[in-house]
Structure 1
Amino acid sequence: MIDWMLEQWMQIVGFGTGAVCVLLATRRNIWNYPVGIANNIVFLVVFLPAGLYAAAALQVLYLVLGVHGWLRWTRGVEHDSGYIARTPHRAVPGLIAAGLALTAVLVWVLTSFTDSQVALADAATTAGSMVAQYMLNRKWLETWFVWIAVDIAFVALSIATGLWVIAALYALFVGLCVHGWRAWRRVEQSQGVAPAAAVSPVPA
């Protein structure tokens, strides 16, 4: 057991920081961002040797989005811990288009310049994660549905590439995301949220 833990310690650290990050996000706690950045660094080291190049690149993109979210949660309307919004209807086509475009670009990069054997799955989960993270930064309730779908896909992808600890982590994420949706939904019901169509224009 000790030998296994020493061999898999990076995955275990990623497990712990990832779980704490998601738990803090469910509580709308801004500390989810610095913990998330630490998690990104750990996962970058884990994913590269496994050939999950898009997932590794995802960690770098997460750092950028982490800064964006940190700023939104400290300086934007999202700084109010009781603030929850619905995804504006007009934002949905853009989110879908961004996800599909990023998936296509990543598939091309992975098939053209790497030896990835799971290019489409790697690219699609990466793109979905980017969309979900942006929605989380804006405190849009539906972010949790996107995260649940992405995490289920990551469970299968991690198993396929032999990252069993990471697979267990993403399985845990699914449960935490369900908890997050319920927690945010309770806040919405207790304080009220403007209908999506009535929400002000979407800034970056």
Structure 2
Amino acid sequence: MHLLEVFINWLYNQSGLELTGVVTGLLCVYLAAVNNIWNWPFAIVSTGIYIYIFAQTALYADMIQNAYLFVINIYGWYYWSRRPVNAAKVPVVRITRKQVVMLVLLAAFVSPVLGFTLVSLTKVLNYNPPAFPYLDSFCTVVSLTAQIYMARKVVENWLIWVFVDIIYVTIYLSKGLQPTAFMFAIYAVLAAKGYFDWRKYYQNQQLSA
């Protein structure tokens, strides 16, 4: 009972907006992991909320990421639903060598440019300095690439998410965003599940073919 009271008190002291972002975020990742198209509307709500939250906590790369994800989630919803209801689902595919190279190049070259730009712009505009500008930028670039691969139903997108979600847990804990850190810890677990599930879907597709 004491632990329950502690949890209730902790929950009461959290931001209602952040908790809403957490709930919708968890729902969208779970539904994506089980290959359900309804992950996209929940993702749209969650990313919309986090655009505001990350702006308030000076995680500007994350703010930009969520603004982009807001748009790409709309694209993903369209891409997954463009076939007739009675048609087969869009098949999952394995990652290509070109996609691996693209991920590495983007992470290596775009991340430092984005980090430097954020530091410079906040100085010029007299905003609060960005938190973890280069690490946050790296995670943003990797996450955006993983999101595109998820929209295209690339199996290995989930392995990329496991990697980046673990880094995000430490970032959000350091910024006092405990519910968000908890959400990303669960994201990492769901991403691992998503990988094994999608790999199984792919193997079944190959057997059917």
Please give the TM-score of this superposition, normalised by the length of structure 2: 0.84
- For 1:93, the equivalent position in structure 2 comes to 101
**Which runs of no fewer than 5 residues in structure 2 stay unpaired?**
1-7, 123-128
Measure the CA separation in 2 of the matches of 1:178 and 1:91.
20
Query: Deviations along 1:133-187, whole A, 9 cap, x unmatched?
Result: 0000110000001000110010011011111111001001011111111111221
Q: Which residue of 2 aligns with 1:15?
A: 22
Per-residue deviation, 1:4: 4.9
* Percent identical residues: 28
CA distance in 2: counterparts of 1:69 and 1:171, whole angstroms: 24
Aligned residues: 191
Matched ranges for 1:157-196 at <5 A: 157-192=171-206
Specify which of 127, 136, 146 is matched with residue 160 of structure 2: 146
Q: Deviations over 1:90-126 (max 9, x none)?
A: 2221232233333123112211122113101110111
Deviations 1:56-96 (A, max 9, x none): 111110022112222321237xx843611001222221232
- Of the structure 1 ranges 87-96 and 128-137, higher mean CA displacement relative to structure 2 is found in 87-96
Do 2:29 and 2:190's aligned partners in 1 also have CA atoms closer than 8 Å? yes
* TM-score normalised by structure 1 residue count: 0.86
- Alpha-carbon distance in structure 2 between the residues aligned to 1:150 and 1:177: 10
Counterpart residue identity of residue 29, structure 2? V
Of stretches 113-122 and 129-138 in structure 1, the one that deviates more from structure 2 is: 113-122
Q: Distance in 2 between matches of 1:148 and 1:171?
A: 9
Map of 1:31-42 to 2, 5 A cutoff?
Answer: 31-42=38-49
Question: What is the CA–CA distance in structure 2 between the aligned matches of 1:3 and 1:167, rounded to whole Å?
Answer: 14
From 49, 55, 60, give the equivalent of 2:56.
49
1:104 equivalenced with 2:112 (yes/no): yes
Aligned to 1:156: 170
The structure having more radius of gyration, on CA atoms, is 2
One-letter amino acid matched to 1:156: T
